[in-house]
Amino acid sequence: MNRREFLTLSAITALLPGTTLEAARHLLQMNGYPLNMETPLELLTDYLTPNELFFVRSHWIPRMPDLKKWQLTVDGDVKTPLKLSLAELKKLPIAEATCVLQCAGNGRGLQNPTMPGVQWRYGAVGNARWRGVRVKDVLDRAGMNPSAAYLQLFGSDEPPVKVPPFHRSIEMAKAMDDCILAWEMNGVPLPPQHGAPLRLIVPGWAGDHWMKWVMRLSASNEPAKGFYMDTAYRWPITPGAPGVAFKPEEMRPLTEMAVKSNITTAPKRARVGMAAEIRGFAFSGAPDIAKVEISEDDGATWHAAELDTRHSPHAWRLWLYRWTPRHAGRVKLLARATDSHGAVQPREAVWNQSGYLYNAWHSAEVEVTA
């Protein structure tokens, strides 16, 4: 660990009361500033990802609000603008959901050709239980005007001078449908690096929508503008050959995640006739995973894995494949998931110049001996 990495880890542990340097060291620091850390894939074996292992993606430096003075502002195209303290929010009906949070750029570092941006591999993803209130219950108190088709989201983090702020909006229909403003993550108060005191949960949608450190919601008849809406987080309307650069108008805002499975556990070596366990997780933008399959012949034939009993719409599904190798040699095991809408994980990911939503088949190589 170099001095800069050590200082960053010290800063994280200072932010996180009760977390040891040891725990923070499990995360892989991607760059010194701002804070971007992914989880090693082989540690993503729990149904609920422990908070201290959960990846962190922050564009700019968080400004911790004074909790005594903190209020959520609800304004814009509403009948009654509101300011709500955390205590007032907690009096509304409680909402809970177990959902996957994945950075849109997870897997960017695996794209070919390569592109700039944080070189995430597999671990900018986790699954957590989020607790808070429905956005709908908050907005209903303010009374939306019918023209309010978008909800603009403002966090308290600030960019350095001359770089764009992380301003975002989401469609009002999605906000009202199933979004949650959460103050709890896996049964404990939302940790500072994950957006305390309040963050947005957007089930099924990529992480860029999950605004952290929310301090203001503003109803509007138009989406937010600026770099993080008009240039970043866009997806080609019609896919093109690898390497092609799309113009912003040839792309639309990225919303739902793509169906994906990863292998977290596989032996390096196995014996012919001896059972081995292959494990992993699968998720999609669709509400649930229908099946996960394994191939040992480069996708010619597939065999169903067992899905774990724990599941919930928009949570990930752990799976287990009991594999008994039949022949000696080097075997490449492939995993692919199919979601509840019938979308099947593809051999190759859809090319886009920002490397979003990488979901090509994942493989594990095993040396089988007689």
Ligand X SMILES: Nc1nc2c(c(=O)[nH]1)N[C@H]1C(S)=C(S)[C@@H](COP(=O)(O)O)O[C@H]1N2
Interface residue list for ligand X (CB under 6 A): 54-60, 101, 103, 155, 157, 166, 194-195, 207-208, 210-213
**Dihedral sign (CA 137, 142, 148, 150):** negative
Q: 236 - beta bridge partners? A: 251
**Dihedral sign (CA 77, 81, 85, 87):** negative
Q: 180 - beta bridge partners? A: 134, 201
Report the site for Mo ion in 96-125 (rule: CB under 5 A): 103
Interface with Mo ion includes 190 (CB under 5 A)? Answer: no
Among 57, 199, 234, 260, binds Mo ion (CB under 5 A): 57
Residue 206's nearest CA partner among 344, 27, 354, 330 is 354
- Pick the stretch among 90-98, 200-208, 271-279, 319-327 that binds Mo ion (CB under 5 A): 200-208
Residue 356 Cβ vs Mo ion, minimum distance, rounded to whole Å: 9
Identity of the residue, 54 or 358, whose beta carbon is nearer to ligand X in the bound complex: 54
- Pick the stretch among 16-24, 36-44, 55-63, 334-342 that binds Mo ion (CB under 5 A): 55-63
Question: If binding means CB under 5 A, how many residues of this protein chain bind Mo ion?
Answer: 4
214-220 and 72-76: which strand pairing? parallel
Identity of the residue, 56 or 318, whose beta carbon is nearer to ligand X in the bound complex: 56
Residue 177 Cβ vs ligand X, minimum distance, rounded to whole Å: 19
Identity of the residue, 74 or 232, whose beta carbon is nearer to Mo ion in the bound complex: 232
Interface with Mo ion includes 194 (CB under 5 A)? Answer: no
Residue 283's nearest CA partner among 305, 310, 260, 265 is 260
- First-to-last CA distance in the chain? 41
| Contacted by 323, from Mo ion, ligand X, none: CB < 5 to 8 Å by type | none
Interface with Mo ion includes 207 (CB under 5 A)? Answer: yes
- Pick the stretch among 8-16, 136-144, 169-177, 203-211 that binds Mo ion (CB under 5 A): 203-211
Residue 232 Cβ vs ligand X, minimum distance, rounded to whole Å: 9
Phi, psi of 255 (to 5 degrees): -125, -90
Question: Cβ contacts of residue 41 below 8 Å, gap of 6+?
Answer: 121, 122, 123, 262, 264
How far is the CA of 369 from the CAs of 176, 273, 327, 331, in angstroms?
A: 56, 10, 8, 11
Q: What single DSSP character describes residue 344?
A: B
Identity of the residue, 36 or 152, whose beta carbon is nearer to Mo ion in the bound complex: 36
Identity of the residue, 37 or 333, whose beta carbon is nearer to ligand X in the bound complex: 37
**Residue pointed to by tokens 């492939």:** 334
Residue 353's nearest CA partner among 259, 231, 255, 258 is 231
CA atoms within 13 A on the CB side of 101: 31
Write out the H or E segment, with its range, that includes residue 177.
helix 172-178
Residue 57 Cβ vs ligand X, minimum distance, rounded to whole Å: 4
Residue 124 Cβ vs ligand X, minimum distance, rounded to whole Å: 7
Interface with Mo ion includes 195 (CB under 5 A)? Answer: no
Q: For residue 229, give both structure tokens.
A: 């809406």
Identity of the residue, 194 or 291, whose beta carbon is nearer to ligand X in the bound complex: 194
Residue 166 Cβ vs ligand X, minimum distance, rounded to whole Å: 4
Question: Before 40, cis peptide (omega within 30)?
Answer: no
Residue 117 Cβ vs ligand X, minimum distance, rounded to whole Å: 11
Query: Greatest CA span in the chain, whole angstroms?
Result: 74
| Contacted by 286, from ligand X, Mo ion, none: CB < 5 to 8 Å by type | none
| Contacted by 293, from Mo ion, ligand X, none: CB < 5 to 8 Å by type | none
Residue 356 Cβ vs ligand X, minimum distance, rounded to whole Å: 10
Distance CA 233, CA 252 (A): 8
- Pick the stretch among 49-57, 86-94, 156-164, 184-192 that binds Mo ion (CB under 5 A): 49-57
Residue 106 Cβ vs ligand X, minimum distance, rounded to whole Å: 8
Identity of the residue, 189 or 273, whose beta carbon is nearer to ligand X in the bound complex: 189
Positions touching Mo ion (CB under 5 A) are: 57, 103, 207-208
